[in-house]
């Protein structure tokens, strides 16, 4: 197995080069043939055994990512034709394989090799669109790390572009609230690259979905302060994250929050006015300008997402869980009001004619969130401004009344010690529980004792769907297709064009698909009701009784529908200890 080291670990570089001299596989297939005889280290074989099992199943991720990439026009790197990516070793290039130098030379500049077999892979902990993430032990330092593995064995240019961009962006950033890239490990024998990160036990989506965890106001302030500090740093460095959501906000055992997953991030220069793709940000956290097709945008996209997260932490569940772009926009207009005439004129957004409502919607944030701490409302109002220019910057948000009014943010170290909780774990537990219920349901039906639906858990937070724009588009396509199949259960879902009533304001008396009226008790704040508990049992909850009844829960759409998620779940089950 080939290897590269992060800056810190230069001592191992000669070791690594020695290994390379004896290996030098000309291409991935030959590398595979040689692997079994060449590599005797037990650590490496553990890693390869896991990888091998995943290689076959990992195809869906790359296809997904390739589809996602077609919509992404703002890559930072150019990628040579696939035939030039042969995995020939170029020892002049600090031990990097030349194919990697060719495609990501800038990204790996000044970094030196690290031996791959100095890591012991422990468990798979995450599944991204174009990567798998493992918990591993750094055998040199004893530290637990996260290894994010990107595979290139089918010579797909898109994986490389995403990976190179993520590395470039991460190398620009250095802040306690931004995940740190600690090194890189290439695996020439299995044509992959590992990004080494500090290991984080939790993510905010996973914690928020744990039954029994109800954040207090000082805790919400603590997390938000850290999120905004991290964003402030990114924005000062000219980086837009473009996928701020709970599952990308990782939290360590000391309560330190770090912004992670820079796979959709981009460098930007407000002066340059370079067009960017609007197909970014997970649907529930996507700002209106992107839904309306903006290609010139800035830091406001991340601040909108931050506003959604603040309101979600205070209310205990996602505030605008749309299932399609149309429904998402509808939810935004109902809560935040529709854009003013001046804004439509000024912004000249591509989808204006499609989505401009015939009558304006009134903004009702203050009524909807009247149970929130009063000092939070001006901040939410600002972050959820329809016009991105009216949104606070991260710096202004940090200086807002919310943070300088008692009760102040607690210290991260005083946060309760939670059991490890990630959004993926919550999804898997939920899926397993549903599977068990189905089995029990079948058994009970046989004996005539089917449990009533009244036993379903009540609602709180729901992990966001894998809602990059492309996945959402796939969902929409699936829904349209299955509409045609009268036998299919999913026919209850309306096709996207009938979904929501954009163009026709919906009365707050709840005739529309979703009510955001002031009387909607679903937005009562959860933070004043009970204290946080350190011994919480994680269990995901549904999106709301009324939504479940009408089979409109976005989670069920994703869980039932999306083959990618199914693959993830299947795979995860097969690896669970
Ligand atoms: N440093 C880390 N420590 C612990 N877990 C991590 C770490 N980095 C990532 N993970 C886990 O792996 C998952 C996937 O990682 P990440 O989001 O970076 O991958 P991705 O391929 O970019 O994903 P996506 O498709 O969601 O954009 C995360 O949701 C998280 O649960």
Please indicate whether residue 325 or residue 93 has the higher confidence score (pLDDT): 325
| pLDDT tens track for 221-278 | 999 999 999 999 999 999 999 999 999 999 999 999 999 999 899 999 888 888 999 9
Provide CB contacts within 8 A for 404, sequence distance 6+. none
pLDDT in the model for residue 515: 30
pLDDT average, residue stretch 279-307? 97
φ, ψ for residue 193, nearest 5 deg: -130, 135
List residues bridging with 195 in a β-sheet. 148, 184
Please indicate whether residue 390 or residue 128 has the higher confidence score (pLDDT): 390
DSSP state letters, 341-377: HHHHHHH--TTHHHH--SSPPPP-HHHHTTTS-TTHH
Cα dihedral sign, 552-555-557-559? negative
Alpha helix locations (H) across 155-213? 157-172, 204-208
pLDDT in the model for residue 442: 60
pLDDT in the model for residue 416: 82
pLDDT average, residue stretch 65-93? 36
Protein residue with least CA distance to atom 15, ligand 1: 128
Residue 30: pLDDT above 70?
no
pLDDT average, residue stretch 169-192? 85
Protein residue with least CA distance to atom 31, ligand 1: 126
| pLDDT tens track for 517-532 | 333 334 445 553 333 3
- 3 pLDDT band (50/70/90 cuts)? very low
Which range of 100-114, 201-215, 276-290, 556-570 scores highest in mean pLDDT? It is: 276-290
Residue 219: pLDDT above 60?
yes
pLDDT in the model for residue 190: 58
pLDDT in the model for residue 174: 96
Q: Name residues contacting ligand 1 (CB within 6 A).
A: 125-126, 128-131, 133, 146, 148, 179, 197-200, 203, 247-248, 250, 260-261, 263, 422, 424
Q: Taking the chain, what is the end-to-end CA distance rounded to the nearest angstrom?
A: 26
Domains of the chain, earliest start first: 101-198 (3.30.200.20), 202-414 (1.10.510.10)
- Ligand 1 mean position, distance from CA 575 (Å): 17
What is the best residue among 260, 265, 474 to mutate for testing ligand 1's pocket, by most ligand atoms within 8 Å of CB? Answer: 260
pLDDT in the model for residue 160: 73
What is the best residue among 144, 148, 248, 279 to mutate for testing ligand 1's pocket, by most ligand atoms within 8 Å of CB? Answer: 148
Distance CA 139, CA 44 (A): 12
pLDDT average, residue stretch 295-312? 97
pLDDT average, residue stretch 414-438? 74
Protein residue with least CA distance to atom 8, ligand 1: 146
Task: Indicate which atom in ligand 1 lies nearest the CA of residue 133.
Answer: 12
- Ligand 1 mean position, distance from CA 75 (Å): 21
φ, ψ for residue 199, nearest 5 deg: -90, 135
pLDDT average, residue stretch 452-472? 35
Protein residue with least CA distance to atom 24, ligand 1: 128
CA distances from 293 to 325, 341, 560 (A): 11, 17, 29
- 14 pLDDT band (50/70/90 cuts)? very low
pLDDT over 70, % of the chain:
55
Tokens 């939810």 belong to residue: 331
pLDDT in the model for residue 544: 31
Residue 1: pLDDT above 50?
no
Protein residue with least CA distance to atom 20, ligand 1: 128
Q: Is 107 exposed, middle or buried (0-12, 13-18, 19+ CB in 10 A)?
A: buried
3-state secondary structure of 517: coil
Task: Indicate which atom in ligand 1 lies nearest the CA of residue 243.
Answer: 27
Q: Picking from 271-285, 374-388, 436-450, which range would have the lowest pLDDT averaged per residue? A: 436-450
What is the best residue among 66, 122, 126, 183 to mutate for testing ligand 1's pocket, by most ligand atoms within 8 Å of CB? Answer: 126
Helix, strand, coil: what percent of the chain each, to 5?
45, 10, 45
Please indicate whether residue 40 or residue 344 has the higher confidence score (pLDDT): 344
Distance CA 407, CA 76 (A): 44
Please indicate whether residue 417 or residue 491 has the higher confidence score (pLDDT): 417
Let me know: does 462 contact 540? Beta carbons within 8 Å: yes
Residue 569: pLDDT above 50?
no
Please indicate whether residue 370 or residue 162 has the higher confidence score (pLDDT): 370
pLDDT in the model for residue 157: 67
Distance CA 404, CA 158 (A): 45
Residue 92: pLDDT above 80?
no
pLDDT in the model for residue 443: 52
Tokens found for residue 394: 């991260």
Task: Indicate which atom in ligand 1 lies nearest the CA of residue 260.
Answer: 18
Other residues' Cβ atoms within 10 Å of the Cβ of residue 523: 23
Let me know: does 323 contact 499? Beta carbons within 8 Å: yes
Rg (CA), the chain: 24
- Ligand 1 mean position, distance from CA 522 (Å): 30
Let me know: does 177 contact 256? Beta carbons within 8 Å: yes
Q: Annotated binding site: which residue ranges?
A: 148
pLDDT average, residue stretch 186-208? 83
Protein residue with least CA distance to atom 4, ligand 1: 200
pLDDT in the model for residue 215: 92
- Ligand 1 mean position, distance from CA 126 (Å): 6
Cα atoms found within 13 Å of the Cα of residue 391, Cβ hemisphere only: 25
Q: Annotated binding site for ATP: which residue ranges?
A: 148
Residue 5: pLDDT above 80?
no
pLDDT in the model for residue 298: 96
pLDDT in the model for residue 188: 56
Which range of 12-16, 245-249, 422-426 scores highest in mean pLDDT? It is: 245-249
- Ligand 1 mean position, distance from CA 145 (Å): 12
Q: Picking from 348-352, 413-417, 487-491, which range would have the lowest pLDDT averaged per residue? A: 487-491
Distance CA 459, CA 72 (A): 35
Let me know: does 210 contact 418? Beta carbons within 8 Å: yes
pLDDT in the model for residue 71: 34
pLDDT in the model for residue 316: 93
Distance CA 222, CA 408 (A): 8
- 210 pLDDT band (50/70/90 cuts)? confident
Tokens 């036998």 belong to residue: 487
Q: Provide the annotated active-site residues.
A: 243
Please indicate whether residue 206 or residue 179 has the higher confidence score (pLDDT): 179
DSSP state letters, 279-307: --S-GGG--HHHHTT-SS--THHHHHHHH
Distance CA 569, CA 577 (A): 14
| pLDDT tens track for 463-512 | 344 334 333 343 333 333 333 332 222 222 222 222 222 222 323 333 23
- Ligand 1 mean position, distance from CA 215 (Å): 23
Task: Indicate which atom in ligand 1 lies nearest the CA of residue 130.
Answer: 21
Tokens found for residue 120: 């012991």
Task: Indicate which atom in ligand 1 lies nearest the CA of residue 247.
Answer: 29
Residue 40: pLDDT above 90?
no
Q: What is the mean pLDDT of the chain?
A: 67
Looking at residue 403, the DSSP 8-state letter turns out to be H
């Amino acid at each position: 197995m080939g290897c590269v080291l992060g800056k810190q670990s230069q001592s191992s570089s000669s070791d690594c080069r020695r290994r390379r001299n004896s290996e030098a596989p000309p291409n991935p297939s030959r590398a595979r043939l040689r692997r079994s005889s060449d590599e005797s280290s037990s650590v490496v074989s553990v890693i390869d055994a896991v990888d091998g099992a995943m290689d076959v199943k990992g195809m869906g991720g790359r296809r997904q990512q390739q589809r996602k990439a077609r919509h992404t026009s703002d890559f930072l790197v150019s990628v040579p034709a696939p035939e030039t990516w042969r995995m020939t070793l170029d020892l002049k290039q600090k031990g990097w394989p030349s194919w990697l130098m060719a495609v990501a030379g800038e990204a790996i500049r000044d970094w030196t090799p690290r031996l791959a077999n100095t890591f012991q892979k422990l468990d798979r902990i995450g599944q991204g669109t174009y990567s798998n993430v493992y918990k591993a032990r750094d055998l040199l330092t004893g530290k637990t790390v996260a290894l994010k593995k990107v595979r290139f064995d089918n010579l797909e240019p898109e994986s490389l572009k995403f990976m190179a961009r993520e590395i470039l962006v991460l190398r620009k950033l250095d802040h306690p609230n931004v995940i740190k890239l600690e090194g890189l490990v290439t695996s020439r024998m299995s044509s992959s690259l590992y990004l080494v990160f500090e290991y984080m036990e939790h993510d905010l989506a996973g914690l928020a979905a744990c039954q029994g965890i109800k954040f207090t106001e000082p805790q919400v302030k603590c997390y938000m302060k850290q999120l905004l500090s991290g964003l402030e740093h990114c924005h000062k460095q000219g980086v837009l994250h473009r996928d701020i959501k709970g599952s990308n906000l990782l939290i360590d055992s000391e309560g330190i929050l770090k912004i992670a997953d820079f796979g959709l991030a981009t460098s930007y220069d407000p002066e340059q006015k370079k067009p960017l793709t609007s197909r970014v940000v997970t649907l529930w956290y996507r700002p209106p300008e992107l839904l309306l097709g903006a290609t010139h945008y800035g830091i406001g996209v991340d601040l909108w997402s931050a506003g959604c997260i603040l309101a979600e932490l205070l209310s205990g569940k996602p505030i605008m869980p749309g299932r399609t772009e149309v429904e998402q926009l509808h939810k935004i207009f109902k809560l935040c009001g529709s854009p003013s005439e001046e804004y439509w004129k000024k912004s000249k957004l591509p989808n204006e004619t499609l989505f401009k409502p015939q009558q304006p919607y009134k903004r009702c944030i203050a009524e909807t969130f009247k149970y929130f701490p009063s000092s939070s409302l001006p901040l939410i109002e600002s972050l959820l401004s329809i016009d991105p220019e009216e949104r606070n910057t991260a710096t202004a948000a940090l200086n807002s009344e919310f943070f300088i009014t008692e009760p102040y943010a607690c210290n991260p170290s005083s946060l309760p010690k939670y059991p490890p909780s990630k959004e993926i774990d919550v999804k898997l537990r939920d899926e397993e529980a549903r599977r068990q219920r189905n089995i029990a349901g079948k058994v009970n039906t046989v004996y005539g004792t089917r449990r009533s639906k009244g036993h379903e858990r009540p609602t709180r937070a729901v992990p966001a769907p894998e809602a990059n724009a492309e996945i959402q588009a796939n969902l929409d396509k699936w829904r349209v297709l299955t509409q045609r199949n009268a036998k299919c259960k999913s026919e209850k879902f309306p096709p996207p064009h009938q979904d929501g009533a954009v163009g026709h304001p919906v009365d707050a008396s709840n005739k529309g698909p979703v009510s955001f009226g002031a009387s909607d008790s679903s937005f009562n704040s959860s933070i004043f009701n009970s204290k946080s508990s350190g011994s919480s049992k994680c269990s995901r909850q549904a999106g709301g009784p009324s939504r479940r009844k009408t089979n409109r829960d976005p989670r069920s759409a994703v869980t039932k529908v999306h083959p990618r998620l199914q693959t993830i779940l299947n795979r995860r089950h097969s690896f669970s200890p």
